[in-house]
Amino acid sequence: MKILYYQIAVMKKRKTLICSLSLTVFMLVTVKFISAQTLPQLGKNSNKEVIAAMTLEEKAKLVVGNGFRMPGQRPNGPTIGQIQDKVPGAAGTTYAIPRLGIPSIVVADGPAGVRIQPIRNNDSSKTYYATAFPVATLLASTWDTALVKKVGVAFGSEVHEYGIDILLAPALNIHRNPLGGRNFEYYSEDPLIAGKMTAAMVNGIESNGVGTSIKHYAANNQESNRNTVNTIVSERALREIYLKGFEIAVKHSQPWTVMSSYNKVNGTYTSEEYDLQTTILRKEWGFKGFVMTDWFGGKNPVEQMKAGNDLLMPGTPQQSQRIIDAVNHDSLDVKVLDENVNRILNIILQSPSFKNYNYSDKPDLKKDADVSREAAEEGMVLLKNDHTLPLTKQKKVALFGNTSYDIIAGGTGSGDVNKAYTISLLQGLANNGYVADDEVRQQYSAYLADYKTKHPKKNFFEEFMNPTPPAPEFEANNDLIAKKADEADVAIYTIGRNAGEGRDRKLETDYYLSDAEKLLIKNIADAFHAKNKKLVVVLNIGGVIDVTSWRDNADAILLAWQPGLEAGNAIANVLNGKVDPSGKLATTFPMDYKDVSSAKNFPGKEYPEQATGSGFGRQVPAEVTYEEGIYVGYRYYNTFNVAPAYEFGYGLSYTSFDYSNLKLSSSSFNNKITATITIKNTGKVAGKEAVQVYISAPSKNLDKPSEELKAFAKTKLLQPGESQTVSFDIDAADLSSFDTNRESWVAEVGTYSIKVGASSKNIKQTASFDLAKEIVTEKDNKVLVPQTEINELKPQKKAF
C-alpha cells in the first residue's frame, strides 16, 4: 500500500514538474517571441529606437573595435581583445549586437591592394591572394583620374568578394619631405592631385557597395615619433596644403569613413581634436560618415568620443570601460556617445555584412592584374632619353642591379599586399622577346639566394621592429661588365628602394646611392659607352632619391616606381615602346636634399629625457615645426628660384605634343572662366599628354606661390597628327587663398595668369584675365591655431 501511495505521489510530483517545466518553456518562448517582436532591429526600426534599446555597455563596445592580432599571424596567435576571424589577416572588426540586428563589420588594409592572410589553416589548396596595384605615387603620376577610378573599381571588387566591409585606404598625406617613410602610400606634394586622386579611388572602390577610410587625417607627414609628434603648423598651411586634399576628397566622393592620424596638430592628438573631426570635417565640409582612429592612435577615449572620432581601433576592453565610467560619472554626456553610435550604425546599414552579402572569396584576379598592369604602364615617368628608348632593335640585355631580379612591387607595413606573384624585370623582359644574359643572371641569383638564406623571413612583428636590411648592391666585377659590353646590345641597371610605416628613410644609402651603386653605374656606363652601347637605368622606388650624382652616366632613365604585381611586364612594355610613357611627376626630384624646403625641419626635435615606457611601448615626445609654411614642393622651388633636378609635372614621351590656341571664355572674371587649349601629337607614335593648368595670382595682401596647379587632364591616346581640345573650368575658389586674419578664403583684385603647360616649368601657353572686385569665397572658423609663433618662410625673406 505504502508502495502504491508512494507511486501515486511520485506520479503527481512528476506531473507537477512536467506542468511547471512546460509552463517555463512556454513562458520563455513567449518572452523571446515578444522581445523579438518588440526589440528594435537595425534597418527595420529607426537608429534612434535601436540606440534607445542598447545598454551603456553595448554602446561602449560598439564604439571600440574587437581587438587586434598582428598581421600575418595565425588565428591562434596572440590577440588584444576579442578579435573575430571572419576574414583572417584583416586589420579589425566591430562589435556585433545580434539581439538588435547589428552585425560586426570587417575592415582591412591597405592602399595598394587588399591585405589579408593568403593561406588559411595551412591549406594551400584554396588561397586568398589579392592584386598588388601600383603604389599611390605611381597612380598620381598617371594624372588620369578616370584610370585611377578604374583601379578603384577593380580594387573594390576584391574588397567585396573577400567579405570585407571597409578598406583602410586610400591614403593621401602630402609628400612634405622625400624621406617620409610612407610617401609611397601617398600621392603627391600637391593637394589638388592628392584630393582628386583620392576622390577617384574612393568613387571606384565604393561603386562596389563597400566603404573606404581616407587616411591619415591630418598633417601626418613623417613616421619618426609618429605616435607622439606634435606638428606645429600655421592655419594657412594647414588649410591650403595639409587639409585641402581631404576637403576635395570629402566633397567629391563622400567616403564612408575617415581615419584620424597618430600625431598631434598644434598641441592636440588629431583623434581628440573636436575642431578637426567636427568643426572642419563635418560642419565646414559636410562629411556624413564616421571617423575611426589609426591603430591605437590617441590617448583619451572620452576626448575622442567628444571630438567626433566615433570608433576606436583596433579597440581594447579598457577603452570601453573608460567610456562607461565617464558616462556614469557625468564626464561624457550619453547624447554624445549616442551620436557616435548613430554614425557607426549609419555606415553598418550600408555594409555588405549587414546585407548578408554572399561573398565568393574568388575575385577575378586575372582581370584585376590587367588593370594593375595598365595603370603601372601609364604612371611610369621617362626622366631622361638620349635617343635610347624604346629598345626596338637591341634584344640581348645585360641586366644589372639586385632589384632587376628581385623587383619591389610595393612598400612594406600595412601598405604591403599578399599577392600571388610578382613579375620580375627578368621575367618581364623574357615575356617580351628580350634575352637577358645568363651569366649575369646566374651571378645575381646566387648572390641574392645566399643573402636570403642568411636572412630568413621574419614574421610581420619582428620585421616591423627590426627590418631586414636590403641586400647590399651586388658588386659585379669589371671583367664581367667588360665581357658583357662586348656581348650584349644594351645594359639595364635597376636601382631599388623600399620603405614603410614606422620609420622614415635615411639619407645615406637610401636617398643617396651607396658607393657600390654609384661605382657600378659608372663602370657599366664606361664599359658600354666604350662600345658605343647604351645604359638604361630603371628606378624601382617608392619615393624620391638623388639623381644628380649619377644621371649623366645614364642614357635613359625610366622611373618605374613600385608598379604592383605585374611590374616586369609593365616596365618591358614601356621599354619596348608598346606603350608610350605618359606619366609625369607629381612630386619634385630636387638637385640635392638640402634644397628641400623642410630639410632643416625634418623630422623635428625629440625630447628623449621625457620618454615614457620601454621596448615597443617606448614613446619619445617630439615636435616638428612646418616653417616652410605653404612653400612645399614646386610651390617652393618655383617661387624661390631653386632649380630642381626634375620638376613637378615633368615627364618625357616617345612622341611630342604641340599646345595651341589657348582661349579664355572671358577676359574678366565673373564666377567662372573656361580655358580651352588644343593639344596635337606632332611626333611619330601614338601617345597621351598630361596637360596642366597653373594660375599665378596677384599678391597685394597675401603672399602667393609663383604658380599653383588648379586643374589637369590627360588626353586620350592621340595618334600621330591627331589633336584634342581640352577645357578647364576655373571658379572663384581656384583664385582664392586663406587669409588667416580674416579666417576667409579671398580672391584678390588684379590680373591673373593662366599658364597651361607640360610641367610646372614648361609652360606652353599663357593668357590672363582680370578680377575687378575682391571675392570672399568662404568664411571659416578660427580653429587649430598654433600656440607658438612660427617663423614662417615668406617670399620676401631669404630662402634657406
Q: Hey, which residues are catalytic here?
A: 294
Measured from the CB of residue 271, what is the shortest distance to ligand BGC in angstroms?
Answer: 12
Q: Measure the CA–CA gap between 214 and 172, rounded to whole angstroms.
A: 7
**Number of shown-chain residues binding ligand BGC (CB under 6 A):** 9
Binds ligand BGC by CB under 6 A, chosen from 228, 385, 414, 562 = 414
Measured from the CB of residue 116, what is the shortest distance to ligand BGC in angstroms?
Answer: 11
Binds ligand BGC by CB under 6 A, chosen from 58, 144, 158, 294 = 294
Residue type, 330: D
Q: Where are the beta strands (DSSP E) in 593-741?
A: 605-606, 622-625, 644-646, 657-664, 672-681, 690-696, 708-714, 723-731, 737-739
Measured from the CB of residue 110, what is the shortest distance to ligand BGC in angstroms?
Answer: 6
For residue 487, give the C-alpha cell. 656581348
Nearer CB in complex with ligand BGC: 315/590: 315
Q: Measure the CA–CA gap between 280 and 366, rounded to whole angstroms.
A: 42
Q: Measure the CA–CA gap between 261 and 479, rounded to whole angstroms.
A: 52
Nearer CB in complex with ligand BGC: 295/405: 295
Nearest Cα neighbor of 592 from 535, 533, 643, 629 is 643
Q: Measure the CA–CA gap between 611 and 589, rounded to whole angstroms.
A: 35
Q: Measure the CA–CA gap between 101 and 259, rounded to whole angstroms.
A: 26
Q: Measure the CA–CA gap between 253 and 556, rounded to whole angstroms.
A: 39
Nearer CB in complex with ligand BGC: 415/590: 415
Q: Measure the CA–CA gap between 94 and 463, rounded to whole angstroms.
A: 27
Measured from the CB of residue 239, what is the shortest distance to ligand BGC in angstroms?
Answer: 24
Nearer CB in complex with ligand BGC: 115/244: 115
**Exposed, middle or buried: residue 122 (CB in 10 Å: 0-12, 13-18, 19+)?**
exposed
Q: Measure the CA–CA gap between 355 and 467, rounded to whole angstroms.
A: 41
Measured from the CB of residue 304, what is the shortest distance to ligand BGC in angstroms?
Answer: 16
**Distance spanning both ends of the chain, measured CA to CA:** 113
Kindly state whether residue 295 participates in binding ligand BGC, applying the rule CB under 6 A: yes
Q: Measure the CA–CA gap between 162 and 116, rounded to whole angstroms.
A: 9
Measured from the CB of residue 740, what is the shortest distance to ligand BGC in angstroms?
Answer: 30
Nearer CB in complex with ligand BGC: 168/179: 168
Nearer CB in complex with ligand BGC: 220/692: 220
Helices (H), 676-774: 732-735
Strand partners, 606: 622
Write out 436-465 in H/E/C secondary structure: ECHHHHHHHHHHHHHHHHHCCCCCHHHHHH
Measured from the CB of residue 298, what is the shortest distance to ligand BGC in angstroms?
Answer: 13
Kindly state whether residue 168 participates in binding ligand BGC, applying the rule CB under 6 A: yes
Nearer CB in complex with ligand BGC: 262/694: 262
Instruction: Report whether 314 contacts 81 (CB < 8 A).
Output: yes
Binds ligand BGC by CB under 6 A, chosen from 58, 109, 517, 792 = 109
Q: Where are the beta strands (DSSP E) in 229-285?
A: 229-232, 257-260, 264-265, 268-269
For residue 722, give the C-alpha cell. 591627331
CB contact set of 720 (below 8 Å; sequence gap of 6+): 655, 681, 682, 683, 684, 685, 686
Nearer CB in complex with ligand BGC: 295/434: 295
**Dihedral, CA of residue 415, residue 418, residue 421 and residue 422, to nearest 10:** 10
Kindly state whether residue 246 participates in binding ligand BGC, applying the rule CB under 6 A: no
Kindly state whether residue 215 participates in binding ligand BGC, applying the rule CB under 6 A: yes
Measured from the CB of residue 596, what is the shortest distance to ligand BGC in angstroms?
Answer: 24
Nearer CB in complex with ligand BGC: 164/539: 164
Nearer CB in complex with ligand BGC: 377/501: 501
Measured from the CB of residue 501, what is the shortest distance to ligand BGC in angstroms?
Answer: 5
Binds ligand BGC by CB under 6 A, chosen from 310, 501, 580, 647 = 501
Find where cell 577610378 sits: 149
Nearer CB in complex with ligand BGC: 231/553: 231
For residue 50, give the C-alpha cell. 535601436
Find where cell 653605374 sits: 521
Residue type, 24: T
Measured from the CB of residue 414, what is the shortest distance to ligand BGC in angstroms?
Answer: 4
Measured from the CB of residue 168, what is the shortest distance to ligand BGC in angstroms?
Answer: 4
Q: Where are the beta strands (DSSP E) in 261-409?
A: 264-265, 268-269, 290-292, 381-385, 396-400
Kindly state whether residue 91 participates in binding ligand BGC, applying the rule CB under 6 A: yes
DSSP β-ladder status, 257-260 and 290-292: parallel
Q: Given the rule CB under 6 A, which residues bind ligand BGC?
A: 91, 109-110, 168, 215, 294-295, 414, 501
